[in-house]
């Protein structure tokens, strides 16, 4: 393959204390806490709205805030949830405390909270590259309607979900020991009989149970037994959008490597076809869906597994299951170790003994002195990753990353050498149960 050098003089459009790439749950938590702790903060998002896969991917609900009826996730995620509930855009489902939400109101509340915290928000702007000098990122290069430009910052947070900034900066990544989990293309259906008793059993009433819509799986199994060709699927997992008769469906499934564009593109194309096939099957064979229709397909497929940095500490699945307590714990998680198999309907669930603790050391590596991770691409093994990748812990991890970045700027030190005791104290002051 031919290579060539390319150079261009570009403008530096701003200088900040903290620059966050990615406006999903991790980026939202990071931006708010960074700004609230006194840092001049900018959040750059490639789409035209916030929420990441929660909104662009229609990944609903926001998992999960409680374990066996006890709240374990606090801080900014709970503040966000309460604001979304006040806006009529969400509800908690006890005792698991998953947050079912309306994706459009999620966008609105996230934007309001970001802007009211004093964060500068730049949307429709894609990360292109970064400049590293002497073990620190100096600037990030972006592209939007104004063309190519750079933003300089003292500290950087990667909230891209798949460690795009960290990868560009040369941070080592952990190796996968098994095939990556499959992706899904979620969608909405309207005109569903959500009052049916069978629809009510899908709600998240227990931390120790897989809340699939079993009655739909039974229909698909019957069709397969009759010789019908049924696309690969998972779940399905159904969730209210708070609108009458409207639900989101996490249903399609395809093997994919979201770090490789060709694999991602082909998986999205396959799953788009499958959305129409599967929705028509349930419309014909499941009474609750006989009047239903597709009202939206997610603009972006959801990838369950991408890159993970090799950090100062690698949290294991055993650490997660046993709920190992760490001195530098900065977030909690209680989702099961949830491993989806890439080439069939299979899924493995291992439920934790108690809510897990996530240490700060998983957010940083030795490679770059001013880079933190927010969200799922932290330093964890594949089993721990299969649990911490959901929205509530990702936002709480982001909260800690924002505080840590602000401390690094104030202390004029690296993210590896901040006062971690002070970090934990501030995180606790936010209401986190660490």
Residue 223 is predicted with a pLDDT of 97
Residue 119 is predicted with a pLDDT of 98
Give yes or no for residue 203 having a pLDDT over 70.
no
Q: How confident is the model at residue 205 (pLDDT cuts 50, 70, 90)?
A: low
Q: How confident is the model at residue 204 (pLDDT cuts 50, 70, 90)?
A: low
Question: What distance in Å separates the CA atoms of residue 317 and residue 315, rounded to the nearest whole number?
Answer: 7
CATH number, span 12-176+305-333+358-429: 3.50.50.60
Mean pLDDT of 32-48: 98
Question: What distance in Å separates the CA atoms of residue 215 and residue 197, rounded to the nearest whole number?
Answer: 11
Q: How confident is the model at residue 206 (pLDDT cuts 50, 70, 90)?
A: low
Q: How confident is the model at residue 381 (pLDDT cuts 50, 70, 90)?
A: very high
pLDDT by residue (tens digit) across 351-372? 999 999 999 999 999 999 999 9
Residue 207 is predicted with a pLDDT of 63
Give yes or no for residue 348 having a pLDDT over 90.
no
Give yes or no for residue 208 having a pLDDT over 80.
no
Of the CA atoms within 13 Å of residue 124, those in its CB half-sphere come to 5
Residue 341 is predicted with a pLDDT of 85
Give yes or no for residue 263 having a pLDDT over 70.
yes
Q: How confident is the model at residue 343 (pLDDT cuts 50, 70, 90)?
A: confident
Of 209, 294, 208, 194, the closest CA to residue 252 belongs to 294
Q: Which residue has the higher pLDDT, 2 or 252?
A: 252
What is the Cα Rg of the chain in Å? 21
Residue 209 is predicted with a pLDDT of 63
Residue 256 is predicted with a pLDDT of 94
Mean pLDDT of 151-164: 98
Residue 68 is predicted with a pLDDT of 83
State the CB neighbour count (10 A cutoff) for residue 399. Answer: 32
Q: Which residue has the higher pLDDT, 347 or 132?
A: 132
pLDDT by residue (tens digit) across 293-325? 999 999 999 999 999 999 999 999 999 999 999
Return the domain boundaries, the chain: 12-176+305-333+358-429, 183-303
Q: How confident is the model at residue 231 (pLDDT cuts 50, 70, 90)?
A: very high
């Amino acid at each position: 393959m031919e290579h060539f050098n390319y150079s261009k003089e570009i403008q530096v459009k701003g200088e900040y204390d903290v620059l966050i790439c990615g406006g999903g749950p991790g980026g939202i938590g990071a931006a708010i806490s960074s700004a609230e702790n006194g840092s001049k903060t900018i959040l750059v998002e490639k789409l035209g709205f916030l929420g990441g896969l929660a909104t662009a991917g229609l990944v609903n609900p926001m998992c999960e805030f409680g374990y066996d009826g006890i709240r374990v996730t606090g801080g900014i995620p709970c503040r966000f949830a309460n604001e979304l509930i006040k806006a009529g855009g969400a509800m908690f489902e006890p005792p698991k405390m998953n947050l079912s939400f309306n994706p459009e109101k999620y966008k609105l509340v996230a934007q309001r909270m970001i802007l009211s915290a004093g964060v500068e928000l730049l949307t429709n702007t894609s990360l292109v590259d970064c400049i590293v000098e002497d073990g620190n990122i100096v600037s990030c290069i972006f592209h939007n309607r104004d063309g190519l430009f750079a933003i300089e910052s003292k500290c950087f947070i990667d909230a891209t979900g798949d460690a795009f900034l960290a990868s560009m900066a040369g941070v080592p990544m952990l190796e996968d020991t098994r095939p990556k989990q499959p992706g899904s293309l979620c969608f909405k259906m309207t005109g569903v009989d959500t009052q049916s008793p069978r629809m009510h059993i899908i709600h998240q009433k227990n931390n120790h149970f897989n809340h699939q819509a079993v009655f739909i799986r039974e229909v698909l199994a019957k069709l397969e037994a009759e010789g019908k060709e049924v696309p690969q699927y998972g779940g399905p997992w159904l969730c209210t959008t708070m609108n009458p008769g409207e639900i989101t469906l996490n249903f399609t499934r395809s093997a994919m490597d979201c770090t490789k564009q060709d694999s991602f593109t082909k998986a999205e194309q396959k799953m788009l076809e499958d959305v129409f096939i599967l929705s028509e099957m349930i419309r014909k064979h499941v009474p609750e869906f006989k009047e239903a229709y597709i009202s939206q397909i997610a603009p972006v497929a959801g990838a369950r597994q991408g890159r993970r940095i090799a950090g100062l500490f690698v949290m294991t699945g055993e650490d997660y299951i046993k709920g190992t307590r760490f001195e530098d714990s900065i977030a909690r998680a209680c989702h099961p170790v949830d491993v989806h198999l890439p080439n069939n309907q299979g899924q493995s669930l291992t439920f934790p003994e108690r809510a897990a603790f996530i240490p700060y050391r998983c957010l940083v590596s030795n490679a770059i002195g001013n880079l933190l991770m927010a969200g799922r691409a932290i330093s964890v093994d594949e089993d721990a990753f299969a649990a911490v990748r959901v929205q509530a812990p990702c936002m709480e991890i982001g909260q800690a990353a924002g505080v840590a970045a602000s401390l690094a700027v104030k202390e004029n030190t690296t993210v590896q050498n901040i006062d971690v005791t002070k970090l934990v104290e501030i995180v606790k002051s936010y209401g986190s149960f660490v």
